[in-house]
Structure 1
Amino acid sequence: MPVHQGEYSCKLRCTFGAKSDTTKVIVQDCIGSYDSSIKKSHAECWFSGVYPVGTVHWFQGDVNFTNSASTQQQMDRHGRYNVSSTIDARKGNLKQPYECTLWIPSNGKVLASQSLHPSEKQEDTRSSGSKVTLQWICVMLGIITFMM
């Protein structure tokens, strides 16, 4: 855990004498877990247990969406970070996947990357409700026409 990094001393005593030395413990890259979700209106990536703190970068092919993302970083009690980021998925091409990457600026490298694939089956609840209403109207008109 990052909170445990620092200098540690080790002392040994025996009948022949005493000896001591110190060592430095440094926590390097770590990530606990990560996941993502995509809806018709937005895409979201989150990374938990990250150290050191990172930033999320968004791409769709060669198009960079990072500047339009909303990203939050929060440190937990162990000194690790939870990083989440959301973008408006409607701004991109719904037929291409989004790529979200966790970039660690202090190390100059990507710690994790996720691919989010939009589905054309995703619909707003309003449009699906409108389709059901339209189908119901058509059924009713068919029954009325049949009864006449």
Structure 2
Amino acid sequence: MLVVMLFLIILLTSDYSKVHADQIQLRAFKHQRVNCNERTVLQCNSSSLMPLNGVKVFWKKLEEKDFECDPTSSNIPPGFECNYTREALTLTISNPTPANMGTYFCCLQMDSGHAKENINVSIGECTGEFSNQMAGPKQIQCSFNGVYPKAIINWFHYDNNLTANSTITSLLNSDGTFNITSVLNIQDDQKRYNCSLWSLEQGRYLNQEIEVPHHADSSPSSRVRTQHCLSWTLILLSLMFSLRACSFL
């Protein structure tokens, strides 16, 4: 008889916990595409048929086992904020980058049960920052820093593709973006060129026009020769003035 009573107590306790666990529900949009560098809030809506006493809420990330954002903790991951009300759990990504992509779990845990829901986060295009300069005599350099997804640089003069006369380097940053730089060897006297970033995933160009400075055509040796000519001219003028002054004496 005692054994039967113990079995019934265990069975009822198990069923009670299962019922309570089923009464906790979390709902969220499972797939969210966020804009690069634009503050974003992930949200899980919560509901329960029972008072949530002693509840623990937190966020986890599938790809990072040490990631945990707990609203009650002071140890919040850098660049994130998390909050909880009886209706919702929110995770704010202050400055989303490709490194923030992945699967996030909003978790609700209590003695009588637990619930979790996942949100898969992807990120849109990062346009980055453009810059250009003269890399040397007859060489133009253009750079796109902080771009995503990975891309290549093509060079054009109107419809003439000059990419074969260039070199390109691509570096991966810690935030998942790329720094892409290309140097074009100029082989004519044209002044305007187009540095075009071709996105391999997006399948489109981001065009930047570059104008070669007038002094860029002068090589170091030609500038030295020009300086020498000016020096000799000044010397000859000085001699002429000296001779002229002597003739009046």
Which category describes the TM-score, using the shorter chain as reference length? 0.7 to 0.9
Query: Separation in 2 of the partners of 1:121 and 1:82?
Result: 28
Deviation of 1:131 after TM superposition, in Å, equals: 1.5
Aligned equivalent of 1:105:
200
Q: List runs of 5+ in structure 2 lacking aligned partners.
A: 1-96, 245-249
Deviation of 1:120 after TM superposition, in Å, equals: 2.2
The question of whether the paired residues in 2 share the 8 Å contact of 1:40 and 1:124 is answered with yes
Query: Separation in 2 of the partners of 1:102 and 1:23?
Result: 32
- Superposition map of 1:1-148 within 5 A: 1-12=97-108, 19-38=115-134, 40-89=137-186, 91-95=187-191, 97-110=192-205, 112-122=206-216, 123-146=218-241, 147=243
Which residue identity is paired with 2:210?
L
- Post-superposition Cα deviations, 1:20-55, rounded to whole Å, max 9, x if no partner, equal 321110122103322111354100111111111110
Q: Which runs of 4+ in 1 moved over 4 A?
A: none
Which residue identity is paired with 2:213?
S
Query: Separation in 2 of the partners of 1:143 and 1:58?
Result: 50
Query: Separation in 1 of the partners of 2:168 and 2:226?
Result: 36
Which residue identity is paired with 2:212?
P
User: Cα RMSD (Å) of the superposition?
Assistant: 2.4
Deviation of 1:135 after TM superposition, in Å, equals: 2.0
May I ask how many residue pairs the two structures share in their alignment?
145
Corresponding residue SS for 1:142? helix
TM-score normalised over the length of structure 1: 0.83
Deviation of 1:119 after TM superposition, in Å, equals: 2.3
Query: Separation in 2 of the partners of 1:72 and 1:104?
Result: 15
Which residue identity is paired with 1:72?
T
Q: 1:116 to 1:7 in 2, by over 3 A?
A: same
The question of whether the paired residues in 2 share the 8 Å contact of 1:8 and 1:22 is answered with yes
Q: List runs of 5+ in structure 1 lacking aligned partners.
A: none
TM-score normalised over the length of structure 2: 0.52
Greater RCO between the two (CA within 8 Å, min separation 6)? 1
Deviation of 1:18 after TM superposition, in Å, equals: 5.5
